[in-house]
Structure formats: structure tokens, C-alpha cells
A and B are shown apart, each in its own frame.
Chain A
């Protein structure tokens, strides 16, 4: 298995631009998580889906952030408009249907820089 796939790996954009991050979970996994990591705030859970349905989006910073999971093999995290404080590494993770969400498999992350 290829593991969790994220694209792009690096993104540099200017303030005000729209940014879309993409994630392909591991086949057969039914939970998907989006995280953001910065030195100041550590690893923060933004949103997670179970069976393509958003379960908890309380970690989404504000209305500029949105996430979708149109099917079991694809999810997007969109920031519109982007701001310099959104600069961070964004991780996607997935987990299998074993009764708990605890064993999460993380992707390599997308390093976002907003100038």
C-alpha cells in the first residue's frame, strides 16, 4: 500500500489567494483527519470524517477554512482567502474501521507558506 498521499508537498502562495490541499487515504480506511502543525501551537486537529461525513469540525479556525470528502478515496482542505498566519504543515491521516480511531496513519504533510 502506498500509504496516505498528500499533494502538493510544498505550496507557496501570496496572501489572499485560494489554497487547496489534497489527500488520498489508505484504501479501506473509513476515517480521515486533517491536522495543522506549527511551532507555536503544536499539532492541532482541524476536522475529521467518518464514512465521508464530517464528525467534528470544531478545530477549523474560521470560515476561511473548509473541508470536503466527496468519496472514500479523496478529501480536500481549502483556505480562501489565505493569510500569512495560515503558514504551517498540514497533515492528513486515515484510520481503519477497528472500533476506535486511535491508530492513525499520517501522510507526509503539505508545507504551506503564505507570503
Chain B
């Protein structure tokens, strides 16, 4: 299983763009990169998934360089409600959640 490394915590302010980078140096050819969001007292929620280059949906963008050894989740113009833990997962089938990045958005 590919191991992921991401910052433990990040702070931001409302209206700013937030970029969370995840390192996954031993990603395998068949692995996808998936990000989840978890609010307190709730289960994680799927945000976005990608294999290479750039993926964008209504919530976020995911940037993946050509070597796929890292990925960056980009949240445009965050609000207080984006305060949550963000998990980066890599795999094709079985996956493991790491500690995640605790994002705190301040007014």
C-alpha cells in the first residue's frame, strides 16, 4: 500500500485559497488518488479523485504532477464551514486513512 504524508494542520482565513499537498512516493501504476473531508461527529465524505494531471469539480481541484509522487488539493475561497480534517488516500482497492490534515478557517 502506498504511504501518504500530509501536513498535520493548516490555518487559513475566509476567502483565501487553500492548497494541501500530499506526498506518495511509492504510488503504484494502478493507484488512484482520493481525498476525503471529515467534519466532527460525521463520517468522511468523498471530495475528489484523480489519476493524473488536473481534476476539478464543484468543490475542489486536484493537481497531480506527471510523476504522480505527490498531489495537491485546492479549495478555492474557503469559508468557516470548510474547517475539517482532509485525508489523502492512494490505492486501487484496499486503502488506509492516515492522520489527515486538520484545516482551520478563521474569520
Q: Which residues of A contact B (CB under 8 A)?
A: 4, 35, 42-45, 48, 55-56, 91, 93, 100-109
Q: Distance in Å from the Cβ of B80 to the closest Cβ of chain A?
A: 22
CB atoms of B43 and A42 under 8 A apart: no
Chain A: CB-nearest residue to B97: A43
CB atoms of B100 and A42 under 8 A apart: yes
User: How many angstroms between the C-alpha atoms of A103 and B44 in the bound complex?
Assistant: 11
Residues of A within 8 A of B100 (CB): 42-43
CB atoms of A100 and B92 under 8 A apart: yes
Q: Which residues of B contact A (CB under 8 A)?
A: 32, 34, 36, 38, 41-46, 49, 87, 89, 91-100
CB atoms of B43 and A107 under 8 A apart: yes
A-B contacts counted at CB < 8 A amount to 56
Q: Distance in Å from the Cβ of A70 to the closest Cβ of chain B?
A: 23
Chain B: CB-nearest residue to A93: B43
Closest 5 pairs between A and B when the two form their complex, measured CB to CB:
A106-B43, A43-B97, A102-B34, A91-B43, A101-B93
CB atoms of B46 and A104 under 8 A apart: yes
Chain B: CB-nearest residue to A48: B94
Q: Distance in Å from the Cβ of B85 to the closest Cβ of chain A?
A: 9
Residues of B within 8 A of A42 (CB): 97-100
A sample of 18 more A-B contacts (CB under 8 A), given A93-B44, A106-B42, is A4-B43, A42-B97, A42-B100, A43-B38, A45-B94, A45-B97, A48-B94, A100-B91, A101-B94, A102-B34, A102-B89, A102-B91, A102-B95, A104-B36, A105-B46, A106-B43, A108-B42, A109-B43
Chain B: CB-nearest residue to A104: B46
CB atoms of A100 and B46 under 8 A apart: no
